[in-house]
Amino acid sequence: MYGRTKIAILAAATLGALAFPAAASASASAGSPAEAASVSTTCPDTTHHEDAAQDGYNCSTISQAPAQLWSTTLSANASYPVIAGGRVFVTTDLADGSYGGDLYALSAKTGKVLWGPVALTGTYYWFALTYDAGRVFVDNSDGTVTAFAAATGTEDWSTSASYIGGEPVAADGTVWLQGANSLYGLSEQTGAVLEQSAELDGEGATPAVNSAGVFLSAGCSQFRLSLSATVVWTDNSGCTGGGNAPTSLSNGRVYSGEGSEILAQSTGKSLGTYTGSPAFAGTTGYFANGDGVSASSVKTGEALWSVTLAASVVYGPVVTPSAVWVATSNSDLVELDPSNGDVLSTLPLPAAPEYGGQYHSVPTDLGVGNNIVVVPTGPTVTAFG
């Protein structure tokens, strides 16, 4: 899908105020102040799958009887959210179908547009985002990562490259992402290249990061790299090329989106395989596959429960202390009991959730943070809590 030319990155700081285009039309309907009072600034959701480890867990407290708090319709299809500091950040494609997109910040309490649209440029329509320490970082898949002040939308810096196609992850002062073969670590403060790996198999994979290093599922390979971007171990299934796979970390294990393989974080030793999209809480893994959601022990593999839903899972799972959340193709947000899989609630969505991809739309998924669940469905972004 992507070219295999080695990337040469040039950091170009563009400090200063950004001239915003005129605000796009957006309609918002909000719940009562009592409902909105549950929103906080704790338990942020900072990347596609909640945190740098991509483990799908968020510590938010959500009501056992959740209700819709607000719903805001933007001018074009909205991405997965990142939720931090009382704001919900999303990117969109463009309503007229041309290349490019926009970045918005919405109030987590009301859904009101706080700033944006801020114009995003690039080939195609795909804009992935992450958050850390007061900045939102957007990758346009064309070779440009741009940092924006979360409070104002002002552009802080922009770093250009020949090609970067993966979802970024920001943690502890570094923005990590894989481009055409290499892994890059950019300074959150300036955009300068702090780390760059040797050429790796695959491209555009979504990294998972913890104190032990950076983990990638790319091409036909899995990698653990140090925080200085040196390869610690690699595992390969016998082929080369490809990319875009996600990685999740839990309990000393790597859950690779390439081949659904489970590996030991320390050594890369294969520990088995899994099925579906994963999320984790403690020593329990939750997996969505088709219309089924199941739970099993991470350490023993023992099956704990399994439930069949009325329709296939499109978004999730994401786990909070009291629930497992998924969005299904029949336009429902479903809340499951993490202890036994019982359906706790089913809430209607404005439309059916749809997967977004690089060649036709922004990347999509639900998110949980600041004590709310946020679900994009086309141009509409809806919060529950």
Q: Is the pLDDT of residue 257 over 70?
A: yes
Cβ atoms 203, 5 nearer than 8 A: no
Distances (CA, A) of 150 to 20, 107, 261, 263: 14, 12, 36, 36
Q: In which band, very low, low, confident or very high, does the pLDDT at 123 lie, cut at 50, 70 and 90?
A: confident
**Residue 94 covered by a domain:** yes
Phi, psi of 34 (to 5 degrees): -65, -40
37 against 212, higher pLDDT: 212
**Residue 272 covered by a domain:** yes
Encode 304-319: b = buried (16+ Cβ within 10 Å), e = exposed.
Answer: ebebebeeebbbbbbb
Distance from the first to the final alpha carbon of the chain: 39
**Residue 224 covered by a domain:** yes
Quote the mean pLDDT of the chain: 89
**Residue 1 covered by a domain:** no
Question: What integer is the mean pLDDT of 243-261?
Answer: 92
The pLDDT, as a whole number, for residue 204 is: 86
276 token code pair:
């579906």
The pLDDT, as a whole number, for residue 11 is: 38
**Residue 24 covered by a domain:** no
The pLDDT, as a whole number, for residue 19 is: 36
**Residue 2 covered by a domain:** no
**Residue 102 covered by a domain:** yes
- CB-based burial of residue 150 (10 Å sphere; 0-12 exposed, 13-18 middle, 19+ buried)? buried
Cβ atoms 77, 95 nearer than 8 A: no
The pLDDT, as a whole number, for residue 359 is: 67
DSSP 165: -
The pLDDT, as a whole number, for residue 318 is: 98
Q: How many domains does the chain have?
A: 1
Q: Is the pLDDT of residue 243 over 70?
A: no
Kindly report the CATH number assigned to the domain that includes residue 113: 2.130.10.10
**Residue 87 covered by a domain:** yes
Please name the residue ranges forming H helices in the chain: 33-36
The range of the structural domain enclosing residue 224 comes to: 10-18+32-384
